[in-house]
Amino acid sequence: MTDPRRLLAGARTRVLLAFVVLLALSTVASTLALRQILLARTGERVERALVQEVDEFRALVRDGNNPLTGEPFGEDVEALFDVFLMRNVPGEGEAIFTFLGGRLHRPTEAVTDRGVMARVTALGSVRETRRGEIETSDGEVRFIAVPVEIRNRPRGVFVVTADLAQERREVADAAQTAAGVSLAVLLVASVLAWVIAGRVLSPLRTLQATAQSITETDLTRRLDVHGRDEIAELGRTFNAMLDRLEAAFASQRAFVSDAGHELRTPITIVRGHLELLGDDPAEREETVALVTDELDRMARFVDDLLLLAKAEQGDFLHLGPLDLDVLTDELYAKSQALADRDWRLSGSGAGRLTADRQRLTQAVMQLAQNAVQHTGRATGSRSAPPSPTATRGCGWPTTAPASCRRSASASSTASIAPPTPAAAPTAPGWASRSCARSPRRTAGASSSTAARAPAPPSA
């Protein structure tokens, strides 16, 4: 069952929260902007309506005729007001007031607000066009007052007003409707965002489940990766990490297996001879010599195993340019110093290669030491290293089995000094011998390196 606290703190919840906050802020901002735009357009619309009423009145004064007489109105301002009010119906929220001699003649509707009525009545004696707004308890009332002059004598005043409060109430209703619709859209979008975020983040949940199912004994689980986005790349990176971990654990288990196999035999020999040790001085001397020899073998086993373990590390080799003929001469000279043997240099390569001089020298010297141990005085011979074009990596041909290349990555001298071309097999790759990781030694073998190396040079 999912922990509510983990659910609230999860990436899916954070993504949804960020989406909701962003969408809510954009909704509030758009609603406020819509309200301000509608208010500005309302003011412009009211102003146009007032100007239209004034223009219609001026047109009637200039071109209109009295319907009772069929003649122009002349100085009959009262008839002019009556005809205009009879022909024109004010718009919603509008009101028209006419004044004769400073007194209210006829309004289109009754005004209950005394403050508004007092301000409008004060406009009945204006001598020039006046615009403005009147503050009321319900809002603002905008007006235009136009004096009526006949023969340059003021005869009356035409006043038209518009209630902005009612227009703004309509704007507020529209803004509330828009906010309600936006809120509904926000809820629906949040649900969809929750579902989409769950589908987008589902590979991460699979990654978590896979990581939790991995143990030291089972590193075979992998993610099923599809797509090319960032999450797919994360899945591929995770699978690559599991590959490296599996290889590392396999190497560790192989190392432990090698160590157990290599050390079990000498330990058994030492224990058996110590258990059967008697009081005879000659027997004791023989047993001590045998035990000492087995302990030397064990020490060399440990050194070889440590060398194999270090060979898996990235800094095991220190590569640099080498002259193959110079390296051959150096190895030949060092081999002669090992023992009094009939050392012969049968050939020397030419050219340059990139390799680790110390590791090459170490491997060839181990081969030469094996040859010394298995030959008598003045019977040894020495072959030159092959051309570097025949091998890659630790020295095994590209067609050699992976287990052979790995086992010989450090101490196997076959990667450095294979048989001469004349003695090499014709099958692809010259390393066609057994690929066993830890072959059993025959009596007299002195190290794991000798067991994995090719046969010593011919005597």
pLDDT by position in tens, the chain (length 459) = 455 565 566 777 888 888 889 989 998 999 899 888 988 888 888 888 888 888 888 888 888 888 888 888 777 888 888 888 888 878 777 888 888 888 888 787 766 667 778 888 888 888 888 888 888 777 788 889 999 887 778 888 999 888 887 788 888 888 889 889 999 999 999 999 888 888 888 877 887 787 787 776 677 778 778 778 887 888 888 888 888 888 888 878 887 887 777 777 778 888 887 887 777 888 888 888 888 888 887 887 787 777 777 776 667 778 889 888 888 888 888 888 888 888 888 887 788 889 888 888 888 888 888 888 888 775 444 444 444 433 333 343 444 444 334 433 333 333 333 333 333 333 333 233 333 333 333 333 333 333 333 333 332
Sheet (strand 130-135) strand order: 103-107, 94-100, 153-163, 140-150, 130-135
Class of domain 7-170: alpha beta
C-alpha dist (Å) from residue 379 to 331, 413, 439, 443: 18, 21, 28, 22
Confirm if 325 and 350 have CB atoms less than 8 A apart: yes
**Separation of alpha carbons 447 and 299, rounded Å:** 9
Q: What is the pLDDT of residues 122-167, one digit of tens each?
A: 888 888 888 888 887 777 888 899 998 877 788 889 998 888 877 8
Residues 336-350: tens digit of each pLDDT: 888 888 888 888 778
CA angle 440, 444, 445 (to 5 degrees): 45
On the CB side of 213, CA atoms within 13 Å amount to 10
Cβ neighbours of 52 (radius 10 Å): 12
Residues of the chain with CATH 3.30.450: 7-170
The boundaries of every CATH 1.10.287.130 domain in the chain are 230-311
Task: Give the integer Cα–Cα distance in Å for 148 and 157.
Answer: 5
Using CA atoms, how far residue 205 sits from 13, 64, 83, 237, 242, in Å, is 14, 84, 82, 16, 17
Task: Report how far residue 430's alpha carbon sits from residue 419's, in angstroms, rounded to the nearest whole number.
Answer: 8
Alpha-carbon distance 137 to 111, whole Å? 13
Distance CA 181, CA 168 (A): 20
The CATH number of the domain covering residues in 230-311: 1.10.287.130
pLDDT of residue 329: 86
